[in-house]
Every structure is written in structure tokens, then in C-alpha cells.
């Protein structure tokens, strides 16, 4: 197997600069593809400022909404209107205001259980992609956003859980979460997340410092196993790095 492309690191001053850099990278990915664009969003609190920026006049008018499709990398298995639902935040802040309805692709949580939800979303992704097998020459996503939890999980791929070893399925159900909120999850798998031109991790704040240190030390954690077949970028703020403003 060819070794994945190296990971680059961008350090910015604070969460506002982080949102700005992420928005610029997102726009650059959209501009680089003249056809239909697919973006994988993420849950958690990290992307909130980015979503707010995308809803601003300056950014919303630069996004060609009629050719961008919005997916999500993982979901909590709660109703679409539950405050813990990941897609709900993205919808409320910007998607419902700007994106055509058919371009918003939430993970369906009205399914009987997380496994059925995963099967349905996998079916939707395959229909969108137009094939059952991922071709490295044709990434599924232009950009995938990622966050990192205190235990090193990313999407809902928790350390030592079976989902992290999945190689065939694109989406799987996760019966029990490893961190709060303790609700079942549905998550894209490593191969599905990897199928992107860019994977962009966002980590901001002092509370991310401990896990960032472990990741930089090369620990075998889900956030170190999730890598794009294209470019992987860790976008971090100074507080997360422990005060140093350095790239690398
Ligand atoms: C979720 C996520 C998860 C998240 C990290 C970071 O459903 O919780 O998608 O992977 O990105 O836990 O969360 P914060 O951004 O809230 O720190």
C-alpha cells in the first residue's frame, strides 16, 4: 500500500483566525472544482464559527450554492431537531438559509436503529458518487472537516472500537459512544472519510492541548489514522499548541 501523503500543520492566532482560514480553504476547494462539489461537515462545537462565517454576506455570496452538496461525517442517533444533532447546528446556522434542500444530506436518524441509518446513508453516498467502490482517482469529497475529541476520536471513530477497523463499509452504526453525549452514533468509516481531496482538522483552545500533544507524538489514535488520500491539514490555534505560534 502506498504511504499516505504527509500531514501539514497550520498554526493561527485564535479561533476567529482559525474559522477564517478554514473558510478560505473551503472556498479554494470549491473554486478548484468547476463541477459538482461535495463537502463533508463535522459535528461538535469546533466548526461553529466557521459555519457562522459561511453564513455571513461576504462568504455566502461567494459560494455557488447550486453546485455544492453538504454531507456530514458522523451523527448522534437522536432526532433531527434534537439539540445534540450535529447536522441541526449546520442547518440552523447556514444550510437552511442558503443551500437548496436537495443539496443537504443529513444522516437519517428516523431509522429503526443506527445500523439501518448507516445502511441508508451509505446507499445515499453511493448513489451520489455513482459507484459502489471508491476510486482513488475520483475522491468522494472535495473537503472533509474533522474535529478531535479528548480521547483522540474523530467523527464517531473511537479508540479501540470495531468501527475504526472497518475497511469495506462506508458508514457504520456505533451502539455506544465513548464520550458525551452518550447516545449511539452513526459514522463514516476511515476509507470513506479518506476519499477526499482535503481533510481539514480544526482544533482550538487550551482544552485541546493535551490531545494535540499526544497526536503530534504519533500515538495510534483514530485522529492519527484518519488521513486523506489527498491532503491532510491540521489547523490549530495558538492556545491548542501551548502558546507557540509555529507552523510545520
Ligand atoms: C461529534 C463529532 C466529534 C467531534 C469531536 C470534537 O459528533 O461529537 O463529530 O468527532 O468533532 O468530539 O468535538 P468539539 O468540536 O465539540 O470539541
pLDDT digits (tens, 9 = 90+) for 137-169: 999 999 999 999 999 999 999 999 999 999 999
pTM: 0.96
Residues 167-178: what's their mean pLDDT? 96
Alpha carbons within 13 A on the beta-carbon side of 94: 20
Q: Which CATH architecture has domain 7-241?
A: 3-Layer(aba) Sandwich (3.40)
Does residue 155 have its Cβ closer than 6 Å to ligand 1? yes
pLDDT at 5: 66
Q: Is 49 in the pocket of ligand 1 (CB under 6 A)?
A: no
The number of residues in the chain equals 248
Res 202 pLDDT > 50: yes
What pLDDT is recorded for position 4? 57
Residue 44 CA to ligand 1 centre (angstroms): 4
For Cα atoms 157, 107, 170, give the angle at the middle one, nearest 5 degrees.
50
* 125 Cα: distance to centroid of ligand 1 (angstroms): 21
Nearest to 195 by CA among 122, 245, 247, 94: 122
Say whether pLDDT at 245 is over 70.
no
Per-residue pLDDT, 244: 59
The response to whether residue 85 sits with its C-beta less than 6 Å from ligand 1 reads: no
Residue 154 CB–ligand 1 contact under 6 Å: yes
In a 13 Å sphere around the CA of 171, the CA atoms on its Cβ side amount to 25
Distance CA(162)–CA(166), nearest Å, equals 7
CB 242 within 8 A of CB 18: no
pLDDT at 6: 76
Q: What is the DSSP string of 118-136?
A: HHHHHHHHHHHHTSSS--T
Confirm or reject: Cβ of 45 under 6 Å from ligand 1: yes
pLDDT of the residue at 71: 98
CA 247 to chain centre: 22
Q: CA 73 to CA 195: how far, in whole Å?
A: 12
The string of pLDDT tens digits covering residues 87-101 is 999 999 999 999 999
Residue 28, pLDDT score: 98
Q: Does position 126 have pLDDT exceeding 50, yes or no? A: yes
Q: Cα(184)–Cα(179) distance, rounded to whole angstroms?
A: 11
Q: Tens of pLDDT along 2-54?
A: 455 679 999 999 999 999 999 999 999 999 999 999 999 999 999 999 999 99
- Distance (angstroms) between ligand 1 centre and the Cα of 184 equals 14
Distance 37 CA to ligand 1 centre (A): 24
Closest residue to atom 14 of ligand 1, CA basis: 44
pLDDT at 248 over 80: no
Stretch 168-181: mean pLDDT = 95
Q: 53 — phi, psi (to 5°)?
A: -65, -40
With a 6 Å cutoff on the Cβ, whether 42 touches ligand 1 is: yes
Q: Is 86 in the pocket of ligand 1 (CB under 6 A)?
A: yes
| 101 DSSP assignment | G
Atom of ligand 1 nearest to the CA of 155: 10
Asked whether the beta carbons of 5 and 196 are under 8 A apart, the reply is no
Q: What is the pLDDT of residues 218-231, one digit of tens each?
A: 999 999 999 999 99
Ligand 1 atom, smallest distance to 147 CA: 11
Q: Is 208 in the pocket of ligand 1 (CB under 6 A)?
A: no
Q: Tell me, what DSSP letter sits at residue 52? A: H
CA-179 nearest atom, ligand 1:
12
What stretches of the chain adopt beta strand conformation (E)?
Answer: 7-12, 37-41, 68-72, 74-76, 141-146, 171-174, 185-188, 196-203, 231-237
pLDDT band at 105 (very low <50, low <70, confident <90, very high): very high
Amino acid at each position: 500500500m502506498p504511504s499516505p501523503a504527509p500531514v501539514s500543520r497550520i498554526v493561527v492566532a485564535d479561533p476567529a483566525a482559525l474559522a477564517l482560514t478554514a473558510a478560505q480553504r473551503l472556498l479554494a476547494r470549491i473554486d478548484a472544482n468547476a463541477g459538482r462539489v461535495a463537502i463533508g461537515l463535522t459535528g461538535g462545537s469546533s466548526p461553529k464559527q466557521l459555519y457562522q462565517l459561511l453564513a455571513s454576506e461576504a462568504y455566502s455570496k461567494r459560494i455557488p450554492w447550486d453546485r455544492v452538496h453538504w454531507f456530514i461525517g458522523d451523527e448522534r442517533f437522536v432526532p433531527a431537531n434534537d439539540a445534540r444533532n450535529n447536522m441541526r447546528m449546520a442547518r440552523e446556522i447556514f444550510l437552511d438559509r442558503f443551500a437548496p434542500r436537495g443539496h443537504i444530506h443529513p444522516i437519517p436518524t428516523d431509522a429503526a436503529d443506527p445500523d439501518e441509518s448507516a445502511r441508508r446513508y451509505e446507499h445515499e453516498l453511493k448513489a451520489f458518487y455513482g459507484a459502489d467502490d471508491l476510486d482513488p482517482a475520483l475522491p468522494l469529497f472535495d473537503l472533509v472537516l474533522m474535529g478531535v475529541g479528548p480521547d483522540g476520536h474523530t467523527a464517531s471513530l473511537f479508540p479501540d472500537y470495531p468501527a475504526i477497523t472497518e475497511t469495506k463499509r462506508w458508514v457504520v452504526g456505533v451502539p455506544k459512544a465513548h464520550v458525551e453525549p452518550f447516545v449511539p452514533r452513526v459514522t463514516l468509516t476511515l476509507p470513506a472519510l479518506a476519499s477526499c481531496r482535503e481533510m481539514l482538522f480544526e482544533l482550538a483552545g487550551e482544552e485541546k492541548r493535551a490531545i494535540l500533544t499526544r497526536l503530534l507524538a504519533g500515538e495510534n489514535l483514530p485522529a492519527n489514522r484518519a488521513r486523506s488520500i489527498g491532503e491532510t491539514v491540521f489547523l490549530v490555534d495558538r492556545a491548542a499548541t501551548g502558546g507557540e505560534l509555529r507552523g510545520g
